[in-house]
Every structure is written in C-alpha cells, then in structure tokens.
Structure 1
Amino acid sequence: MMTSTPAAPRAERRTRLLGGASFAFAALTGCAAGTTAERLATSAAPMDIAQLCRPEAIEAVAATLSTKVTIREIPNGPKLTGGTKLIAATDRLPAYCQITGSYVTNPATGKTANFLATLPVNWNGKYLQLGCSGSCGVLLMNNPAAPPITITAQGYPGQILEKGYATFGNDLGHIATGGALSMDWAIKGPGKIDEEGLIDFNYRADQVMARMGKEFTRAFYAQASGAPPKITRSYFNGCSQGGREALVAASRFPEEFDGIIAGSPAISFADIGFQVGGAAVATLRSSDAAVSAPLMALVGKTVTQQCDALDGLSDGLIQNPAACDFKPERDLPLCDGSNAGQCFTKAQTQSVSALLSAAVDEKGAMVQPGYSVSEPAADFSPTKRPADLGNPVPWTPGDAGSGYWGLAEGVLATLAHRNDPAFRLRSIFSYGTGGRSGMDGFHTIVPQSEVALARSVLGRGSPRAADMGGLMRSRTKLILYHNLSDQVLTPYMSINFYKRLAALHGGYSRVQRTARLFTLPGTAHCGMAGVGPANFDAMGALESWVEHGAAPNALLARQNDPKTTIVTMGKVDWSKPAIRTMPLCKFPEMARYKGAGDVKDAANWACKAGDTSMLQIGQSGRQAGVTD
C-alpha cells in the first residue's frame, strides 16, 4: 500500500484549478484510496473469489453463454494451466481471477479469437474492454495485470484492478507470427490470405467480444449472488492499434459502451502504409539519401530552436508543431566540406521532407498526413541498406533493419494485394515537389488505384469522421488523444479526423458535448518516451464525464522517467514525484504559461476557454497535410 505524502492536498487543489480535469494525481503520488482489505470491508458479503475461479466453475460459466467459448491455455497470452489462475491479494492489489481461451467470432465458419479475462474480487459493477497494440496477435498490452498496461490505458500500474473493473481483451482473431507490426499472420500461401482473420482484425473480434465479455462477466459474478448482476457501465480503452479499435467501436457499435478512450489511433492502416513506405524508399534513391539517428537529432535541435518559443515560452516543449515554419530543404545546413557530421546532402533533406510531408496521389489529393516536426525520430530510415539500392525487393520480410518498410509491406503487399507474389511494393512509390494547399516540398506520390484498393480491403477497420453519426446521436462519450511527437502514428491523423468531425456536426462546441480531443506536446507514441508529460488518468476522466457529467476541460499529465520503454515500464517507481506536470487542454485550446512560477508545475499553466491556438497552421503543418 502506498502511503500519503504531504504533496497530496496541493495535487488535489491543482486538479480543481484545472477546470474540472479528472485526474487521480493523488494516487500517482502515493495516495491510493485505502487498502484492499479496507475496501472489501465495506461489502456486506465479500465473495469467495477462490470458489468462483475454480476450473469447473469457469467451465460452467462458459457453458451458459450464447457465444461458444472454450476455456484453455493459449499460446499468445499469459500461461494459465487449463485456462484459469487465481492471483492472491497483495497489500495493494485485490485478488483476481484470470481466464484465457477462445470464442467463436463467426458461427458459420467456426472462426475464433483468443481472449483474456481479468475478474477481480472487488468488482465495481463495470465492464472494461482493452484494445491491443501493433498488429495485435498477442495478449500483453491489454492485460491489466502487466506493467505495459500504462501504455495502453494510461494511469498507473494496477489502477484498473484497484478500481475493480472486469476487463476483457482479445488478439483480433490471430496469433502473431512476426514482429510487432507484421501482418504475416494473414499469409495462407501465394495469392492467399486469411479472409476471415482480416474481418476479425478489421472489427468483428471486438464487436463479438463486447457482447460475449459482458455476458461472461454477469455469469461469473452470478455465482456469488445467485442471479446475473447488472453491469452499470461499459467502457473501451486502447492506444495505437487499440486506439483504432476504439474508434471502430465508436463508429460501428457505440451502443455497446458508455464511454470510449482512443489514444494515438492507427486510424487508417491502408493510408499509413503509403506514407511510411514512401518515407523508407526515399532513403534508397541514392547512396547519400539515408538519414542517421545523429542527423535526425540535429533536425530536432534545429526545429526546437526555430519553433519552441512560438507558444510564448522557451521550455523545450513545442505546444503546436503544426504552427512551425520549418522546411527541411531550406532550413537544414547543407554540406560544404567544412561542416562534416553537422550537415545534410540535398538527398538527405529530401528524405527528411518525405517523412514530414503528406503522401498524395498523382492528382495531388492527400492520402496520409506526414509526421510532426517536434522530436522527429530516425525510425523511418532503415539501418540495413540493401547491396543494390535499386533492388525491386529491397528488404525481405522480417528484416529488423528495414525501418517502416515492414508495416507498409504487411498492409499493402500482404493484405491489400493478398500476398500476390508478382506484386512489387516499391514500384508504386514516386516523388515530386510542388502541389496544392501548401504541400509543395519533396513528398511521396502513390497511384489513386492503389489507394482505392487498399481502402476497399481495410475500409471496414478504418473509421472515418463521416461514420460517427451514431456516436454523435448517442449518450456515449469519446476521449480522443494523440502524442504530438508520435514517431509511429502521425498525430495529424487524429487532428484532421477531429476537425472533420467538428465540420460535420456543428462545430467544436457541439462536438465537445460528445467527443473531446487532447494533444500531448513533446511525447512519443502512446506516451512511452519524450520530453513532455505523457501520463494521465484517462479512466478517471472518462468516469467523471460519463457517470457525473463532468466533461474534462483539461487533463493533468505527469512526466515519469523519460527513458521509460515497454521493457522498463515495470521498473518505474510511481511513488517518486513527477519530473514535470502540466495541463492538456481540450482541442483547439492550447496550454499557456501564466508568466510566473516553476514552468514544470501544472499550477502555473492554464487552459483558456474559447482559445483556438491549436488551429494555427504554419509551413510545417501545411506541408504535413494538416487541414484547415
């Protein structure tokens, strides 16, 4: 049990000062709301979780469900012998039952998906569905008992269990066979893919689980009460792939959830493939086109010097990178023989431009926005250079040093072209300058026909603002957030999506009744790294909005160890004070420093109602394809 600290009252006051932002900052600084024993002591009849979690009891539960469910150990999740395991209570966490198995997603074909259920003794009457990560196929990032859950769901480790949620996650109907972004699971042979698996991946595995998971939850806890209890609230939470799943739920079956959180979503895998594939191939155009990590760091330093003060304060954070006027071909120092190691060839500036610029079709229509200029990463630039730069197949599947190529190949060659052995992905990319709407730098060009094909195959799993009518008419609430230095999924996907949503539904004030967007300056994909505060209580904010009508005007974010990764997440000491805190304003507002006090203290920042600073677009935003 974490003990209270003197900082707690001040943290609580900050929460109030941030305009109703719901953030369990006290818990993050060591003020959890009582021990497990204290919470359970308030229950009139504490349940015997050991009895409920017996294998024969779980089998009996599964037998009652309308969806066919098989309880078993699965190869891509926590190893639970027989598919069940009781985890005993600790001084901080309640006892809980974890269950794995499979469920039928299509009765006509017998297609299944694997799942993980986590059912705590202190059940709060609520259901929470957790999204996946990468191309899915592994039950890890949607395991509330695993340290990486803070990447998927934000908050702090164990928070979901402490709150008492019954949680379910699935593998989107396949078992991962390659890297995190590999689509190898879909390959069934030359010219053949798993069509049923593609449907599960697009939307069906989540849609079926939304019903199965709630039915399973009621049947499980009915063992203790003798009658199926009511689920009082139902939520969905995910980041990255899970963010895409969340938006798919919001667009296709919002009635299944009272509230949805979509973090840094991969809104359109089809469109992402064109931009990242083009960025990777751009580095092969000549022997001097590759961009090293040190050179990308120099890009970042140049951008910071040029753009940091645009928000009124030089503090290392660029609040609105789209407002920058950075242009690689113009602003990066060219090599002249006297600045070795601190300069760029023309080809290298063009490679950087291809990363930061939108991919367009041959008629100039935007296909996918470019990346943010703030804290740019070298991930796109392959570290493994093919011996023949003109090779039509520059990298073989699974090449670890291929940069973003693997994602593009999986989405476009494997899924869109259904593993056609004659298709050569590299052949679809060309490059040019000039264009419309300010997208006049060096950028990727792809054929309209390829775009139409990819969207037709992946369209059912690619949510559009135009598909959100059902959500906007419902009582379901949506919190959308995106890291502004996201090096994997450009934040401009979410910003353009939200702008379109506002245009379709009466403007920002109208849309904010149902859906709110928050952007996180200086933070990398799903908050795993960066120079800015990246962690916040997403579930607390959504609960306050759905259950108490307190819409979040700002979210209080904290910065942990900036070196945190998926691997080191479990080693973060959450009892230590945050390195920095600040408010995340609802879009299009931007956080402003009040002019006095520690810039790393959220109390010295404010979100001004009616502010539209995040709508400002400079050269960088226009080049990246940020819409007006």
Structure 2
Amino acid sequence: MRLLENLASASLYEGAVVAKNFTAAFYAEPAKYSYFSGCSQGGRQGMALAQRYPDLFDGIAAAAPAINWNSLFVGGTYANFLMNLYGMYPPSCEVEALTAAAIEACDGLDGVVDGILSDPGACDFDPVNLVGTTIKCAAGPQANGSGNGSTTERKISLGAATIVQKTWDGPRRANNSRMWYGPGQEATLVGGIYPNVGGSLAPIGTNCSANSTCTLDPLVLFQEWIRFYVLKNPTADTSKLSLEEFEEIFDSSAREYRSMIDTSNPDLSAFRQAGGKLITYHGTADELIPFRGSVDYYQRVTKLDPNVHDFYRLFLAPGLYHCIGGPGPYPDTTFDSLVQWVENGVAPDSLLATSVGTDPIIQRPLCPYPQKQKFLKTLNGTENFICE
C-alpha cells in the first residue's frame, strides 16, 4: 500500500523538493519559477500537485489527466464487461465501420468536412441504424484488425452496434443512472493507440480465428487494477460478472482508494491563493481516458469557484487521441502559453494546435471550455476558426 501512496502523491512532493535542491545547489541560487508538465498518469500527477501541494509549482500543464482514478479504471472495463455479459465479441472491422459511420454522419455539423468532430456533443448518431449493412473485413485470423491480406464480406450485427453504443455512452447501473463516461464517437475503440501492445489498450479488443469466431482481448491495464487492488486476487475470473457485481466492484474501488489516488478534489483555492496557473488539454478522440471526465472535473471546480478561469483553463482538442496523435491538431504551444501566463500575466485565450503526420497540415485554435470552435470560411488556416 505504501507503494501505491508513493505513486498517488508522496513521491511527487519528495521528487520536487529534491529537484529544487539540486537546482539551487548547481546554480548557487533557487529557480525563479518552477513548472510541471505531464500527460495521462503525468497529467494526474499534475492535478495531484495542484490539489495537495499547491505551493510547489508556479505553473502546471496537466494533459488528459487520469483523475477520477477509480471511475476510470473500473469504468474503463465496461466494454469488456458487456462483451462477456452478452457473449458477443465483435470483430474489429465491425467496430471500425461503426466509428467511421459516426464520423461521416456528424463531420459536417461544424461547417467543414475534415474527419474531425469539433463538437462531439452535437453528434447523435445511432449505430443501430447500420445493423445489417454489408461491410468488408480482413480475412483469416485477426487480432484487432489484422488478417491475411484478403477480404471477406459480413453484415454489421446488432451485438456490435449495441456494444459500441453502450461503450460510447459509458457505464450505467441497473437503474440506468450514470456510473461514468465513455469515449467520444471518434475514438479508436480497437487496436489500441500503441500498436506494440495491441489490444491490451483497446476498449473493444477481440481476437478472431479464420472461421470468424472471436474472443475477448481484455484491456489489461484496467483489468489488473480490479484483480490486484479491488478483488485482491490476481487470478480472479472477471469474465462472468453480473451487472450487480460490476457495480459493487466500481463502488468498492471508490470506497477503498478514492481518498488516496482519485485526485478529484475540486477545491483548488489553495493553489489559486499561491498564485498558481493550471492548463489542461484533452483530446475528444481519447479512447483511454474519456474527455468528459475532465469536463466533469472542471465543472465541479467552477461550482466552487466561478472565477476559475482566472487561474485554471481547460482546452478540448477535437480529433486528438490520447495525449498525441489522430486526425486532430496537437497543442504544442501549451507549455509556452503556460510560461506566458505565469511570468507575464498573459492568460491564453486559445492554444494554437498543429496536426502531426497529416497531409495537409492542419492548424487551429483550441478553445477554453466552455467555448467551442466556430468555422468561418475555408478549410485550414487558424484565421478560419474562432472561439465562442
């Protein structure tokens, strides 16, 4: 348990103090300003510093933060749970076809067709409408999209549409009340963002044989949290859970670990009083950490402090995957904007974001929540988008 406490927060304080002492010793004077920057677990660490050690850093960039840890780590297994509950394991081609259809249906809602959903909340695409549609799939044994190079035809099943829809929506209890959030419709639900680890980071991961029989490829990162920390049984079988048992695991994780590692305390008054500045960006195509979790946290902070905009700003990044990648632009100006805010008092009205590995290169401003991008005229060019 001590190791988990170190991960949660203790090591952050100790590491910062040691680093500051080394810096002061090397330069014979302390640093004038101190900054922290991280994404995912690093983003959670940044939020932990703002919440627990508000005097340590002048500026914090906490991207796609893994806050609301217990909701995230148990809720993140929801698609795995659904597939086991229904006994349905859709091949990746069906899931990919439904994702592509959602993007195609809602792409133009922001005024420009570019493969990016600038306002995911406006997309009401229902995947059930595609049940029975014929698609092409890779033939032969498949592991999250691979095959033998040839193709075969199959129809989108009701099971695939149901699992995808419920995954987008996020976990719900038997009474239909929300437990947590799901990823956006443009998120990559199969294959994972890191190909070298395959489906272990895919929300809907399956392995399919040559005869199209598919089995679950579990999201290992989150499943192991349940086995090791919640059930305290590394060999526990989570493949036969009822909804009531899933709910109990969700609630048990929160009861035991929320105060230690959830990192979801909305009271940032001490950080504000210390003069700190905090910037978060979160991709709306993030499949691992739902961007709505960051929105939920920002809204809770705002309820406590209506002037939160003076020291903390959240920027949603349409089309961006987990931390980086995807069709949407990446805000590589985040740290520079943070420095300007801390040292010169210039708060960022937007973050300039540039796409990585796309042709053409896309540049757009990311807007401070709750503002949204508004398209003005022609494709590409930051001057064609405003925040309002």
Q: With structure 2 as the length reference, what TM-score do the two structures score?
A: 0.84
Residue 417 of structure 1 aligns with an amino acid whose one-letter code is L
Match of residue 483 from structure 1: 283
Once the two structures are TM-superposed, the CA of residue 317 in structure 1 deviates from its matched residue by: 1.5
CA distance in 2, matches of 1:337, 1:560: 30
The change in CA–CA distance for 1:448 and 1:230 in structure 2 (over 3 A counts) is same
Residue 372 of structure 1 aligns with an amino acid whose one-letter code is G
1:526 counterpart = 2:335: no
Once the two structures are TM-superposed, the CA of residue 261 in structure 1 deviates from its matched residue by: 0.7
Show the 5 A alignment for 1:125-144. none
Which among 578, 600, 607 is matched to residue 380 of structure 2? 600
Show the 5 A alignment for 1:415-454. 415-419=229-233, 423-430=236-243, 446-448=246-248, 450-454=250-254
1:318 counterpart = 2:124: no
Q: Deviations over 1:180-213 (max 9, x none)?
A: xxxxxxxxxxxxxxx1111111111112111111
CA distance in 1, matches of 2:382, 2:133: 42
Residue 211 of structure 1 aligns with an amino acid whose one-letter code is V
The change in CA–CA distance for 1:459 and 1:362 in structure 2 (over 3 A counts) is farther
Residue 537 of structure 1 aligns with an amino acid whose one-letter code is T
1:307 counterpart = 2:87: no
- Contact kept? 1:362, 1:448, Cα under 8 Å: no
CA distance in 2, matches of 1:428, 1:204: 34
CA distance in 2, matches of 1:459, 1:326: 38
1:383 counterpart = 2:206: yes
The change in CA–CA distance for 1:420 and 1:593 in structure 2 (over 3 A counts) is closer
Residue 167 of structure 2 aligns with an amino acid whose one-letter code is L
Match of residue 369 from structure 2: 587
Show the 5 A alignment for 1:436-585. 446-448=246-248, 450-506=250-306, 510-527=307-324, 529-562=325-358, 579-585=361-367
Which among 170, 176, 179 is matched to residue 367 of structure 1? 179
Match of residue 213 from structure 1: 19
- Contact kept? 1:416, 1:458, Cα under 8 Å: no
* Larger proportion of helix: 2
**Identity score, percent:** 25
Which among 236, 240, 244 is matched to residue 36 of structure 2? 236
CA distance in 1, matches of 2:304, 2:153: 49
- Contact kept? 2:71, 2:250, Cα under 8 Å: no
CA distance in 1, matches of 2:38, 2:136: 49
CA-atom RMSD, angstroms? 2.7
1:249 counterpart = 2:49: yes
Which among 270, 274, 290 is matched to residue 74 of structure 2? 274
- Contact kept? 2:67, 2:263, Cα under 8 Å: yes
CA distance in 1, matches of 2:225, 2:321: 23
- Contact kept? 2:267, 2:304, Cα under 8 Å: no
Higher relative contact order (CA 8 A, sep 6+): 2
Q: Deviations over 1:225-257 (max 9, x none)?
A: xxxx02100111100110111111111112111
Q: Deviations over 1:405-444 (max 9, x none)?
A: x1222212112233365x443444529xxxxxxxxxxxxx
The size of the alignment, in residue pairs, is 358
The change in CA–CA distance for 1:464 and 1:512 in structure 2 (over 3 A counts) is same
CA distance in 1, matches of 2:275, 2:352: 25
Once the two structures are TM-superposed, the CA of residue 448 in structure 1 deviates from its matched residue by: 4.2
- Contact kept? 2:331, 2:366, Cα under 8 Å: no
- Contact kept? 2:80, 2:203, Cα under 8 Å: yes
Once the two structures are TM-superposed, the CA of residue 355 in structure 1 deviates from its matched residue by: 1.5
Residue 276 of structure 1 aligns with an amino acid whose one-letter code is G
CA distance in 1, matches of 2:22, 2:126: 54
Once the two structures are TM-superposed, the CA of residue 539 in structure 1 deviates from its matched residue by: 1.2
The change in CA–CA distance for 1:465 and 1:309 in structure 2 (over 3 A counts) is farther
CA distance in 1, matches of 2:222, 2:375: 40
- Contact kept? 1:269, 1:411, Cα under 8 Å: no
CA distance in 2, matches of 1:278, 1:375: 15
Show the 5 A alignment for 1:397-408. 402-404=217-219, 406-408=220-222
Which among 129, 132, 156 is matched to residue 334 of structure 1? 132
The change in CA–CA distance for 1:382 and 1:336 in structure 2 (over 3 A counts) is closer
Once the two structures are TM-superposed, the CA of residue 221 in structure 1 deviates from its matched residue by: 2.5
Once the two structures are TM-superposed, the CA of residue 544 in structure 1 deviates from its matched residue by: 0.3
CA distance in 2, matches of 1:286, 1:360: 15
Q: Deviations over 1:269-299 (max 9, x none)?
A: 3212222222113223456x22333222211
Once the two structures are TM-superposed, the CA of residue 362 in structure 1 deviates from its matched residue by: 4.2
Q: With structure 1 as the length reference, what TM-score do the two structures score?
A: 0.53
Show the 5 A alignment for 1:41-190. none
